[in-house]
Structure formats: structure tokens, C-alpha cells
Amino acid sequence: MVARETRNYSSYPDAELLSLLATGDEQAFTELYNRYWERLLYVAGTKMRDLAIAEELVQDVFLDLWSRRETLDVRGELSAYLAVSMKYKVINIQARQKRAADYKKSLGDAADHSTEHLVSFDDLRHRLESLVQGLPEKCRITFRLSREADLSHKEIASHLHVSEKAVEANLTRAIKSIRKGLSYFF
């Protein structure tokens, strides 16, 4: 069994820890994590105002650091690099949250409008039924045969034993009365 060399990583500068990290040194990674997680959590927590999301973002930044360790090219201070990484994580999550909120709002607006339209349609339908019920009997029967049974003028005339002119006159009277009664809706 080979004894593992124990080093005091806390005294190493960031640049040296990054070099060790590139070789897969987990202790160097742990030292960087311990050195910067609290600062990153503070930044993320301040921006997100949600500790669970802030912790997740910190984990994401360090996960990215670990997964990119072999190709990572940090120019300048590691603290600045990590701060910028966190900034972009926060921006991305806020944009995602805004899109989700906008989408939910648009669904809510559509539902509100569809409910309004449904209520308006029901009001209109009830008003129309009331107006049809209020028509004189021959007008009402002629209107229902025309609009509900979808019969032609000739078929209605034959069914009611009246002339086609009488059917036209009754329909004209019915439609005029209904339009006047529905003018409130339009």
C-alpha cells in the first residue's frame, strides 16, 4: 500500500491549485471549493433571494470548474473568473424564471379571456333564446325551422302550408326583432 502524500493546500496560491486541478487532484479542487464557496453563495443568495437556488448555482459553478479542469484557461484572478461564472449562472436562471413567469401569465390571460368569452357567449345565447321565445308564434316557428332545422324557404312554406312570400316576411320580421334585441351585445 502506497502512503498518500498529505499536503497543506491552504497555503497554495490559486494558480498552483489550478495546475494541480488540471491533473485531476481532488484535494486541490476541495481547497478551491472551500476557499470560494461562501463568497459565491453570498453573491448568488443576494441576487436570487432564494437560498436553495443559490446553493444549486454554487454547485453548478464548481461542477463546471471540475468538468473543464483539463482545458480550463484562467487568465487573471480565479476569484474574478468564478465571480463572472456566477454572474452568468444568475443571469441565465433569472431569464429562465422570467420566461416561465411570462408563459404562466400568458396562459392565465388566455384562460381569463376564454372564460370571459364563454360567459359572454352564454349571455348572448340566453338573450337570443329569450328573444326567439318572445316572437309572435308564426315568426318563431318560421325562424326555428329556418335556423335550427336548416330548412329552405320552400320546405318551410310546404310544412306550414303558407306561401314562400309569407315565410320571407315572417323571417324578415323575426330577424329584425332579434337584431334590435341583440344590439346591446354589438
pLDDT of residue 150: 87
Residues 73, 151 share a domain: no
114 pLDDT higher than 50: yes
If asked whether residues 23 and 55 sit together in one domain, one would say yes
**For 80-90, what is each residue's pLDDT tens digit?**
999 999 999 99
Looking at the fold, whether 15 and 50 belong to one and the same domain comes out as yes
3-state secondary structure the chain: CCCCCCCCHHHCCHHHHHHHHHCCCHHHHHHHHHHHHHHHHHHHHHHHCCHHHHHHHHHHHHHHHHHCCCCCCCCCCHHHHHHHHHHHHHHHHHHHHHHHHHHHHHHHHHHHHHHHHHHHHHHHHHHHHHHHHCCCHHHHHHHHHHHCCCCCHHHHHHHHCCCHHHHHHHHHHHHHHHHHHHHHHC
Residues 90, 135 within the same domain: no
Segment 42-65 shows an average pLDDT of: 93
Residue 107 lies in a domain: no
Q: Within this chain, do residues 127 and 84 fall inside the same structural domain, yes or no?
A: no
Lowest mean pLDDT among 4-8, 115-119, 175-179: 115-119
Q: Which of 5-14, 66-75, 145-154 has the lowest mean pLDDT?
A: 5-14
- Specify if 3 maps to a domain: no
Q: How many domains does the chain have?
A: 2
Structural domain that includes position 145: 121-185
The mean of the pLDDT values for the chain is 87
pTM, to two decimals: 0.54
What CATH number is associated with residue 155?
1.10.10.10
User: With 60 as the cut, is the pLDDT of residue 112 above it?
Assistant: no
Whether 20 and 67 share a structural domain = yes
